[in-house]
Chain A
Amino acid sequence: MSSRASPSAEARDIVALEGVTKRFPGIVANDAIDLSIRPGEVHVLLGENGAGKSTLIGMLSGLQQPDEGRILVDGRPVPITSPRHALALGIGTVFQHMMLVPTLTVAENLALGGPWWQRPRTGELEAHVAEITRSLGISVKLQARVAELSLGEQQQVEILRALLRNSRLLILDESTSMLTPKGIDELGALMRRLVEKGLAIVFITHKLKEAVAFGDRISVLKLGRKVGEIPPERFRSLGEEEIIAEIVALMFGRQNDESDTKERPVGATRTGIAPSLQVTDLTVAATDNEPGLSSISFDIRPGEILGIAGIDGNGQKQLAEALAGQRVAAGGSIRLEGTDVAALSVGERRRRGLRYLTDDRLGEGTVGTFPVSINFFLKQVGQAPLWRGGLERRGEIDKRAADLVREYDVRTPSLRTPIARLSGGNIQKVLLARELAEGAKVVIFNKPTYGLDLANTLASRQRIRDTAARGLAVLLISTDLEELLSMCDRIAVIADGALVGTVDNVDDARTKVGRLMIGLAA
């Protein structure tokens, strides 16, 4: 498995990792990782969320230091002490979360990092940028403020910045998650041109298809360990299907995701029953940096799962928040079992059975410093029987929380543990318990498996299926097409704040949804 083969091979590495281990409180993020990164190669790091990819990048880019093992640059062990040091070594990183200053222009962002007393050398910069962009066939607006750019444009700026600094190694961290299918293809072509110029690229993704399409060499990470590597020679000798089969085996330890295959009876929707949720012409005004919603209409019947597919950032969050009442709608109606709830508050909608499971678990879903027990009931503060006359009944709260912990299998040291100390999967269980509590009629799940490991992903999906089976109406928002195909009755596609089409989840749904997502009619 290791690539520490012959001295000659080692000499070709721009960067090599030897037995690198990094620990955080409670977890081993990277466990004795070996990696060799060579010029002229796209080295794909493939793994699920939580596999340790980001930590690895953190160490290569100087943000974090390994606890054990060493990093070799040009064959010599070098501790990469800071981002500045990483840049000096020729390692440029395009982070998953954009690392540009939104209030500065593109040119100013590119100039960031020069000696402090100087004036930014704009003339020189422009010439240099023009040269690079010409050779790569991309274009950037130098005078535009970064906040005004689309995510794809921002990413190009970041790649450009890495190249301006003469990086020999370019690291792209989950770079496709914010891009349209067309944008992804363009990025792939760009990477190809870059490696042909002799750069080394490390491309991090959790999407199998991209790994196979863009990679020369694939390393598979799982729970902090490197579980396998497909070198270029082998890569070229295998067909796409074979490679995928091999990677699936490495990632999941079995040939196929059997328990997760589609098992919902298609067309089981009872058309005769009145819909639980009817949304008509829902409109939300766009803001400076977020899209709005235009005239969204759909309905969901009891027991039905309606999926919302689309590239991230096309209005999914706006839709969920407008439905839950967190965002002001400019127009349209939201009927819950026949009554219009569009004018009601968040709390009142919840009381009537409309539930929203947020994708931002720590940002808004929980109060990290509060105990697990209180976090179960954040949306019921003041309500009987846990509160009576405004007074907290600790006994009742602890008892109920203990029940939920058991029922939802939340792994926590105690009920008093601050919830931020739990893993993502366990926090998600708390949120599930909270939203599925008695009285739920319609549940909105926003990216319910984002960032979870496989076991928790499967458990969450099962919960959602059970929810629908109990007769609740489910709106499932996800950027993972496989997830939607495996669970939904119908799938609607959102693009630019509008639903561009809805398809029944039957045999050719995948193609239809895919076509809708890239802007073609189904």
Chain B
Amino acid sequence: MVKIFGIRHHGPGSANSLKNALSNWKPDCILVEAPEEVNQIFKLFSLSGVTLPVACLLYAKNDPSKAAYLPFTVFSPEYQAIVYSQQFQVPIYAIDLPMAFQFAEEKSIMAFNQSSSTNDWELDPLGKMAELAGYQDYERWWEVHFEEEEGSIAIFETIANMMMVLRPHDLKEVNGMNIWREAWMRKQIRKAVKEGHKKIAVVCGAWHVPRLLDYDTIKEKEDNAIIKGRSKEACAACLIPWSYEQLTPSQGYASGVHAPFWYESLYFHPKQAVVRWLVKAARLLRKKNLDASSAEVVEAVALANALAGLRSLKIPGLKELEDAALTVLCQGKRAQLDAIYNNLLTNNRVGKIPPEAPQIPIQKDFLKNVKSLRLSSAIKNDQVHRKDLDLRKPHQLQISIFLHRLLLLEIDWGRKLMGKTLAQGSFNERWSLKWHPRILIQIIQSGRWGKTIIEALLEKVKQKIDSAKNPIQLAKMLDNVIKADLKELVQPILRKMQQTGVGQRDTESQMQILNELIPLRRYGDVRNVDQNILDWLIRDLITRICLGIKPFVFQLNEEQSEHFFSAIHVTNHLMGFLEDPEHQVRWINALQGVLEQKESAPKIRGGVLRILQDKGTISLERAKTYFALELSRTEELENIALWLEGFLYGSAGMLLYQPSLLGLLDNWISALDQSRFMEVLPIMRRTFSKYSRNEKQRLLRKVIAQTVEDLEEVEWDEKRLKAVLPSIQSWFS
């Protein structure tokens, strides 16, 4: 006897009913709608140390970019079928069309959705029926309609009958894949019958029920004809950890469930789920230091019930719960609910797989690397791990190389932190490592480029270089490539940069590229970096930048200027590392050109004057003239502020140690008349507020000392001086 149990994938109601139906009916064989390759991994579910949710990953052996995954969690009816088979020693078979057939059809990555259709009715017929009955939360519809039914087996008969109505025999099937899959499944059912099983339970998506019931009316020959002549691609399966977050449709899984944690509550506590969910919400809010008392939970439950009544539902669903939580617990503030929302939907649950489970080559290579670098503790949980690396120590250098390689492979396990305390280019690095099951999939999918991390990396970067069109992109890649110890790739990148036309870019992009290139010269002693190409590129860029910078600043708007201002400073700083004096002269001349460009942004002009002043390439007299001109009485105050901001950019150190600089400023201020001084004062205050307290005090002392010196040359009226001196002294002491 064959019984077909139409279920809803990841439906807690379905899962509970199936569990009861199986233990009532006691089948001697279970067939599950899952690609045939899943048969290899059923036994892994019984390993101790498997924590749900997990997923079965199916991938083409020769091209892991073709991959599909089937998640299983406690409220997946398929998982309950597996549990039953293991508990009662009943054979279980995956009867869906082998993935090998589908991979032969597909060209790239796809997510396996238990149905390749986009039609709502095919994807989720029971959900669609609930929707028609006015239930947005399908599971509540199940609860209301099926929970009270007599006996759990009867539920599945009702579902089968409903599906017969939805899929009558004369319905024209449009989805070819479904026809093939159902033919294959019918073949497997006949096979099981032939093998002599007496009570066969078939667990499949409700939509398939009517067509699978046809197994004894359609002839084997007809089904064979449907399958015949299709090609296969070798396919492998493995079990990987999964997470509730990845179970949601927002993560690209079309059969996903919106709120896995809500479903979990429905599975374990169907009668108490409403209260439990709202209590959980209140507790999460409290963790965020927001008030949410038990009394409010009581009132939230009351509101959820009232809303359900208003919407003609017998019991509240997720939407009512959300409305109640938002209105009562969060005082209507969406931001509060958003703060806990993800946690509330997923409970941050993450699955685990014990190390004994079989692994694919690149995954093994990854784990081997992790182990030899002694990073294993960082992949045990999803906590953030900090790593401070001292690159002078060989072991830590190896870790850095490995993490840079993962970055290039776009495996987002490690994130490099830029700290103010860590000077760029020094031998320290700080990393933050955060593990997530998603990373494992990224690793497995990198297997398309090679069997080990390094093999995959070389192939991937080569492809990236070939397809790159933008020299900025290439320049940015260079640094990481060198840090990932892939010196053999440096030359191809430099050559490609030449080809992609560095010259056609605007001045700012050229400066960005230059800023990436100059630091690379410090690796110059490393044999494989071709100094000649690098120097040629640098010289070429500097020539172009110096020619283009004057007309370029003219066309910038305020925001772009701000950006360009920082770029000028970085370039200027890096220029200092180049030995060739010719570069310096070019650069200084170009900056002097910018100074003359009156239509450019005041902040840039101020900054440039300062740079030239620092370099000592402008005479004090000229600097004074610029000062007077830029800060003249007719100039708008806002422009003066910006100009000063540019001029005084950075630390106060230069002002302290360069008397000429301070003198310039001092001269200007002393020359102001009283009313103008009052106008300028707030601007000066704003500019100086960027300096540290210590710097400001030292500046003050310096100015006072200077003033006292000047005062000594003045003839004083002793009597009057004595009258005011004590109070002046008290101000400065």
Query: Is B truly associated with A?
Result: no
A interface, CB within 8 angstroms of B: none
Contact surface of B with A, Cβ cutoff 8 Å: none
